[in-house]
Amino acid sequence: FMKSSGTVTWGSEDVLNVLFSQVPGDEIESSKRLGDLYSSMGVGCLIGPILATSFIIDGRKPHTMQLACICGLLFVIGGWIGVANAPTFELICFFSFVRCLGGSTIWLYSTLLLQNLVNVGMLGRVVSMEGSLACLFEAAIAYVAGRLEDEGVSKHEIALLSAGIGSLLLMFWSTYHVFGKGAPRSMQQDADKDMILSKGSIDMIHSPTSV
């Protein structure tokens, strides 16, 4: 459910991008600003996983992928807080870039994490369920954000609400990780298996019947 947690946090972006790009009475400038905003997001989506791979990820240790996703949530939250308080459009683009550094990291490594943890026979069904839930939650949050805007809630308040939702999920996943659930538990199980196999090999070497 890590990917779904991400889409819940950034699901309001399609609504907010339009609102933050609007220039009253100037449709051409509004379209240009929307393009600039999506361009900054695209750069963030490209760079995020690269940075995570360089500084956090160890392919032999799945728990580092879980940690990268949690750090990604932190960037998404920080991005929303920045967008909500940015005094200029240029800063809105920058914080959207920051938000997408985390969002793309969550999107990529949540899938790779499943590939490491799920049995091959179940992987296809699990990944399809994960993708379906992620799209469902993203659509639901986008709908809620649109309804809130229709009800008069400001774009800044919706951005802060998205940050608040992300903060709750960050606390949940951080606790989950710290207490050794998910990938850390799998890592410990693998370590226990290795220790048992190593002990068994040593016992066989020193067994009188092996001489």
pLDDT in tens, 92-128: 999 999 999 999 999 999 999 888 888 888 889 999 9
In the predicted model, is pLDDT for residue 205 greater than 60? no
The most confident of 41-55, 172-186, 195-209, by mean pLDDT: 41-55
pLDDT at 182 over 90: no
Structure tokens at 160: 């802060």
Residue 210 confidence (pLDDT) above 50:
no
**Which residues make Cβ contacts (< 8 Å) with residue 56, sequence separation at least 6?**
64, 67, 68, 71
191 has a pLDDT exceeding 80? no
Query: Distance between terminal CA atoms of the chain?
Result: 52
Angstrom distance (rounded) from CA 44 to CA 49: 9
pLDDT value for 47:
97
Task: List, for residues 142-155, the tens digit of each pLDDT value.
Answer: 999 999 999 999 99
Distance between CA atoms of residues 101 and 80, nearest Å: 12
